[in-house]
Structure 1
Amino acid sequence: MLSLSERDFQRLVNFVKTNYGINLEHKQQLIAGRLSNVITSMGYNTFSEYIDHILSRKSPEDIEIMLNKLTTNYTYFMREEAHFDYFRTTVLPWLEQTKKNRVLSIWSAGCSSGQEPYTLSMILKDYFGSKTGMWDTRVLATDISQNVLDTAAAAEYEEESLRNLPAGWKGKYFRKSSKPGFYTVADCIKSNVIFRRFNLMEPIRFKLQFDVIFCRNVMIYFDQPTKEALVKRFYDSTVPGGYLFIGHSESLPKSNIDYKYVIPAAYRK
């Protein structure tokens, strides 16, 4: 494993935090462990040479590889199921009653490899049933990593990640892949999700305000000021009465936010 000096560690920490919001201040050993092989495979002999290359920003692809190595993209269908139950039983009936134009605006922010937005799309299809065609239920799914977005768009998953789906959904919303042990999301679900690359540190300037934002297990990488600033941007981008869902391992301060707590890890404007 290559040696990571305090100076180089701080240079990398400041770059990643400033540009991507990810706080690595106490992760010196993790950085050294996860990046050493990447650095040597690129032909660099030291962290200093590699960090000079990263800070030059001449290779967005190499920055993405670094970010993927330093963060964990772990998810599966119906993860933190209580949120999806609440979305189905409380949020969707409210939207069905109030959205006179029948256009829903739902955002999976930090969608990783796609299980969350596809889960939302299946719930929407299941809820509206024969009325689905009368509604615009498309889900916006964004992530900073083009690599995981490409995986999400391919929509091919190991059978194990489908284990928590309701009875019948695997047969209804998936097709067996040509790859043994894998399933592909059905076209009716896949076509309902729009994938876009987006850095959550950027201003949020989408066409519509959002009825629902899912940003779960993303802010665990952010320090408190970065988190509060992001939540403020989310709030400004949410319709009155709209919802924000965060991960159960995350929390928002009772002060300094305008959202109102409704259930664990869920808030409303």
Structure 2
Amino acid sequence: MLPLNREFEFTQADFEKIRKMIYNYAGIALSDSKHDMVYGRLAKRLRALNLSTFQQYLQVLERGDPKEFELFSNSMTTNLTSFFREAHHFDILARYLKDHRSATGFNIWCSASSTGEEPYSLAITACEAFDTLRPPVKIVATDLDTNVLEKGRTGIYPADEVKKLSPQRVSKFFNLQADGRYQLKQELRDMITFRRLNLIDPTWTIRGPFDAIFCRNVMIYFDKETQYKILQRFAPLMKPEGLLYVGHSENLYHAAEFFKLQGKTVYELAKTAPR
């Protein structure tokens, strides 16, 4: 008998196979508490493919269809974000940009860009720090989820989200669209390059050195071993004075040879870190 309100049977064995697949593919470690979340998200794929069981869906994935596997991984990622989330990080970045004036400009990597609010918050911070819509700052925004990357590229957001910002920021950095939504001005969109990247891929298609890497609220989805490997790869991509920003519930104590705490959830390179 199916659990109440469930359209499809979803066994523990099905869950274990899915958990293994997403771990091997993206490093995401799903706890037992995610059982219902996985069902809810993947049931949509079964309906879209006109399948009647999770076993059939697993067979599709096992055949290695790249498009469906992309949709599967998109379904398994969480994209909770907003403009200027954890606002103190942007204050720290603004001070850094003002204190490290450089003839070569600044490079920032937003390694889990989601739908774009975070990289655009970085772009706004840079514009305000230099008092221009064309600051000497380039931002690379990456994510595993192709759907959210496409939204980020458009730079279009609903009014209720944008209006959480100050009226001054809205008028300076956004254009009101005919449908009532808001789009970031072209100058800010030009600052950002959105690219798909899987943090556990053996090779990365981006190169440093970076003044800042934002990897916030990402490590919580990885186990300690995967976290360590990613942090080990971050270190040589950073400028000697660069800063790594993580989420409020994350710490890097298990990778102390690469990063040391500078301030509230902000890390600098340790002396033992590879250069």
TM-score (norm: length of structure 2): 0.88
Q: 1:20 maps to which residue?
A: 26
Following superposition, which runs of at least 4 residues in structure 1 exceed 4 angstroms of deviation? 254-257
Select which of 30, 42, 53 maps to 1:35.
42
- Give the distance between the partners of 1:48 and 1:256, measured in 2 at CA: 43
- After TM superposition, give the deviation of residue 234 of structure 1 in Å: 1.0
- Give the distance between the partners of 2:236 and 2:21, measured in 1 at CA: 27
Q: Which ranges of structure 1 fall in alignment gaps of 5 or more residues?
A: none
Q: 1:210 maps to which residue?
A: 210
- After TM superposition, give the deviation of residue 33 of structure 1 in Å: 2.6
Q: 1:6 maps to which residue?
A: 12
Contact 2:123–2:139 (8 Å) recurs in 1: yes
Select which of 77, 81, 85 maps to 2:83.
77
Q: 1:184 maps to which residue?
A: 183
Q: Structure 1 residues 255, 142: closer, same or farther in 2, change over 3 A?
A: closer
Contact 1:142–1:195 (8 Å) recurs in 2: yes
- After TM superposition, give the deviation of residue 254 of structure 1 in Å: 4.9
Q: 1:264 maps to which residue?
A: 264
Q: 1:92 maps to which residue?
A: 97
- After TM superposition, give the deviation of residue 166 of structure 1 in Å: 4.2
Q: 2:252 maps to which residue?
A: 252
Contact 1:78–1:164 (8 Å) recurs in 2: no
Contact 2:155–2:189 (8 Å) recurs in 1: yes
- After TM superposition, give the deviation of residue 255 of structure 1 in Å: 5.0
Q: How does 1:223-238 map to 2 (within 5 A)?
A: 223-238=223-238
State the AA in 2 paired with 1:112. Answer: S
- After TM superposition, give the deviation of residue 205 of structure 1 in Å: 4.9
Contact 1:139–1:193 (8 Å) recurs in 2: yes
Q: 2:140 maps to which residue?
A: 140
Select which of 93, 99, 108 maps to 2:110.
108
- Give the distance between the partners of 2:255 and 2:237, measured in 1 at CA: 19
State the AA in 2 paired with 1:51. Answer: L
Deviations 1:151-172 (A, max 9, x none): 0111111122224434511000
Contact 2:61–2:69 (8 Å) recurs in 1: yes
Mean CA deviation greater in 215-224 or 80-89: 215-224
Deviations 1:74-107 (A, max 9, x none): 2111111010111112x213321xx3x3221100
Q: Structure 1 residues 255, 157: closer, same or farther in 2, change over 3 A?
A: closer
- After TM superposition, give the deviation of residue 11 of structure 1 in Å: 1.7
- Give the distance between the partners of 2:89 and 2:163, measured in 1 at CA: 17
Q: Structure 1 residues 70, 254: closer, same or farther in 2, change over 3 A?
A: closer
Percent of pairs with identical residues: 29
Q: What RMSD, in angstroms, separates the aligned Cα atoms of the two structures?
A: 1.9
- Give the distance between the partners of 2:205 and 2:41, measured in 1 at CA: 34
Select which of 126, 129, 139 maps to 1:127.
129
Deviations 1:215-269 (A, max 9, x none): 1112221111111111111112112121110111222225554211011211011
Q: 1:219 maps to which residue?
A: 219
Q: Structure 1 residues 117, 232: closer, same or farther in 2, change over 3 A?
A: same
Tell me the secondary structure at the aligned position of residue 212 of structure 1. strand
Contact 1:244–1:268 (8 Å) recurs in 2: yes
State the AA in 1 paired with 2:183. Answer: T
Contact 1:149–1:197 (8 Å) recurs in 2: yes
Q: Which ranges of structure 2 fall in alignment gaps of 5 or more residues?
A: 1-5, 270-275
TM-score (norm: length of structure 1): 0.90
Q: 2:197 maps to which residue?
A: 198
- Give the distance between the partners of 2:256 and 2:26, measured in 1 at CA: 22
State the AA in 2 paired with 1:173. Answer: F
